[in-house]
Amino acid sequence: MKSTKILGLALAGILSIGGVTAIAHASNNTVMTEQAVEQDSYKENKLKEVALNAFQKNFNETVDTKNLYERNNEFYEIGGHKFYMTEWANENSEFINGNTAIYYTAVIDVETNKITSLQYHPGEPENQNYENFSYDEAKNLASNFVKANNLLDGKSYEFSEAQSKEVNTAKDSEGGWYYHFYFKYDGGKTCLVNVNKDLKQVTEFILDVDALQG
């Protein structure tokens, strides 16, 4: 009887220890999860700061974060490379249409914190006067933008006249609000710069278009 009691106590002790260990593991996992969430949240906030600063620096636009909605904030991967997309818009809906639509969208390389795509959409033009803004004026504006903002990090580049003219004279581009200009750099990569005809300024650029689109 005595040995049976001792065995029972021993088993109870083992079970007790096992229970404590299980609780400890669960507690550690909870702490690790909370830390991961905090780290992701911290990273997101830092990336949003990068985006907001980029809008100010490149487009001279201060995003009204108090009155615009945050949309489409997400991490994603293309070809094993991780990106973060963040967006602010004046309507909290899945799709934004109409001439009152305003939105700001940024895509950031998570590893380098470098902006890979930046877009400011100010809404549709109020009239047709934008049609008077010439291709050559917009081309010079885009070229100056690339140089002044050191958009390609000092890498040598050249303006792709043939590709730009082909896209801007295509039938489906007639009456469009944007001119699209292409620059070749860094061993064949393509940078796209869009000029808003109504505002007469660059409102979007995409680095390494092919890679970003997967």
How many angstroms separate the CA atoms of 34 and 5, rounded? 43
Task: Give the model's pLDDT for residue 39.
Answer: 59
In contact, 210 and 192? CB cutoff 8 Å: no
Task: Give the model's pLDDT for residue 126.
Answer: 82
How many angstroms separate the CA atoms of 196 and 133, rounded? 10
For the entire predicted model, the pTM comes to 0.79
Task: Give the model's pLDDT for residue 123.
Answer: 85
In contact, 83 and 109? CB cutoff 8 Å: yes
Task: Give the model's pLDDT for residue 19.
Answer: 52
Task: Give the model's pLDDT for residue 91.
Answer: 73
pLDDT in 10s for each residue of the chain, 214 residues: 444 444 343 334 433 445 545 444 555 554 544 444 455 788 999 999 999 999 999 999 999 999 999 988 999 999 888 999 999 998 755 555 556 788 999 999 999 999 999 999 998 888 889 999 999 999 999 999 999 999 999 999 999 999 999 999 998 777 789 999 999 999 999 999 999 999 999 999 999 998 776 5
Q: In the beta sheet, which residues pair with residue 201?
A: 196
Task: Give the model's pLDDT for residue 125.
Answer: 87
Q: Say which residue the tokens 């750099």 belong to.
A: 185
Q: In the beta sheet, which residues pair with residue 84?
A: 75, 108
Give Cα 1 to chain centroid, integer Å. Answer: 72
3-state SS, 175-199, equals CCCEEEEEEEECCCEEEEEEEECCC
Q: Where are any strands of DSSP class E within 46-177? A: 69-78, 81-89, 103-109, 114-121, 157-159
Residue type, 105: T
